[in-house]
Amino acid sequence: MTESIKDWNKEATAILKAQLSRKNMRYHDLARLLKDIGIDENQNTIATKMSRGSFSFAFFLQCMFVLGVNKIDLNLGE
Q: The pTM is what?
A: 0.85
Contacts of 30 (CB under 8 A, 6+ apart): 20, 41, 46, 63, 66, 67
H or E element, residue 45: helix 43-52
pLDDT at position 1 is 46
Radius of gyration of the chain measured on its C-alpha atoms: 12
Q: Are 66 and 37 in contact (CB under 8 A)?
A: yes
pLDDT in 10s for each residue of the chain, 78 residues: 455 555 788 889 999 999 999 999 999 999 999 999 999 999 999 999 999 888 999 999 999 999 999 998 887 765
Domain boundaries along the sequence of the chain? 2-67
Q: What is the number of alpha carbons within 13 Å of residue 50 lying toward its C-beta? A: 19
3-state secondary structure at position 55: coil
